[in-house]
Amino acid sequence: MRKVIVVIDMQNDFIDGALGTKEAQAMLPHLVAKLEREKDALLIFTQDTHSKNYMETQEGRNLPVPHCIKPEKGWEIAPSLQPFVKKAAAVIEKLAFGSLELPKAVAKLQPDEVELVGLCTDICVISNAMILKAAFPELPVAVDASCCAGVTPASHDNALQAMKMCQVDIR
């Protein structure tokens, strides 16, 4: 069985930076342990990527908190995940919540299943899960809820329920 794990936006700004949460900080060791256990899985990482003009973008006007500005420290993937990034099949910089490059990277790996983990459950994880379900309607897509965190615990739970309704397997 060929499994791909997509690690969504595990960047400093979402963990303990500009948009960090205690839930994201608490989840990180669980994710590291999972990736250590799942040695045979192929990994794809995504990175939320903005430029200095972030506040002039639609997202910046709606979420006026500069974050993940390349190449600042907040844009970087968490230090504890760097050994896994070095082994990743792909690292995708994405300019929006979801990435249209992600299905292309997944297709090249020809998996039997895709599992998503990371941040934020209620924004980028759900966006990418829906893109993958649309691109691959017969490919099992799952989310490991214990290795995700949302903006709030309530919005995390809402996103998990929404994905479940769209036939994403919530683990």
Q: Which CATH number fits domain 3-170: 3.40.30.160, 2.120.10.80, 3.40.50.850, 3.10.20.740?
A: 3.40.50.850
Residue type, 119: L
Give the helix, strand, coil percentages of the chain, each rounded to 5.
45, 25, 30
Q: Look up residue 68 and give its two tokens.
A: 């993940």
Q: Look up residue 169 and give its two tokens.
A: 């397997």
Q: Where are the domains of the chain?
A: 3-170
Strands (E), 9-140: 42-48, 90-94, 113-119
- Mean pLDDT by groups of 10 residues along the chain of 171 residues: 97 98 98 98 98 97 97 98 98 97 98 98 98 98 98 98 98 97
Nearest to 121 by CA among 95, 146, 97, 156: 156
